[in-house]
Amino acid sequence: MEVKQRLIFPLDVSSLKEAQRWVRKLRDVVGVFKIGLELFIAEGPKVLEAIREESEADLFLDLKLHDIPVTMQRAARKASLLGVDILTVHMFAGRQAVRKTVEAVEGGCKVFGVTILTSHTRADLMEIGYSPELSRDLTEAVLRLTNLAYRAGCHGVVCSGKEVKVVKEAFRHLRTIVPGVRPQWASDPQDQVRVTTPYEAIMAGADYLVIGRPIREAKDPVEAASKILEEMEQAFLAREA
């Protein structure tokens, strides 16, 4: 797999026109375009077809499905029929619902389970009802949810660069998507608190990196993405050595 195919750019925009502009600009340096809630709600399924027309990159529909089993099953089937390559579910939905989702997808669509959001802190987990021992140890919380994803048949998980090392050690065959990645030269991470550099994340075992703001807010987004690819390439070579 080329390094470019491991770089995911989130289309965090509200219109199809703006999304197409970013796809045209970055299609030579990005291998996966991520469509999240804002864009999908604003434009609907047509955005997927429009991006397909502009690029050969994979499509990542990041909806973090979390509902009763039958609803997730039906939604996942529809998403896969739209030609989505990656689909996310939230592991808080439980093993039965996630397994139904995995069984429902068609056409090679891969299901990734979201563990703990990179914006969450220990205090956040305590507030929403996590036990004190798990709230104190985010790594243990992520591992429990990864085990759930493994048992449900997920192709991989979404976790922060802080936990990816232990996830890959425990579940080596699972693919990992790591958001909250910031090169050292990038701007403030803002609402994400558990961040790593591209080099650190790859060395820890990440398979895919989600990088948005450092590219989007750069004076030259293509140059910024190219710099990130170089850093990723160096990390993969060092990891293999």
Active site residues: 64
Q: How far is residue 1 from each of residues 39, 141, 207, measured CA to CA in Å? A: 28, 30, 10
SS3 content of the chain, % helix, strand, coil (to 5): 50, 15, 35
The helix or strand, by DSSP H or E, that contains position 151, with its residue range, turns out to be: helix 138-152
Question: Measuring CA to CA, which residue among 207, 213, 205 is closest to residue 164?
Answer: 205
Nearest to 111 by CA among 152, 154, 149: 154
**CA separation for the pair 19, 110 (Å, rounded):** 23
- Interatomic CA distance for residues 112 and 23, integer angstroms: 23
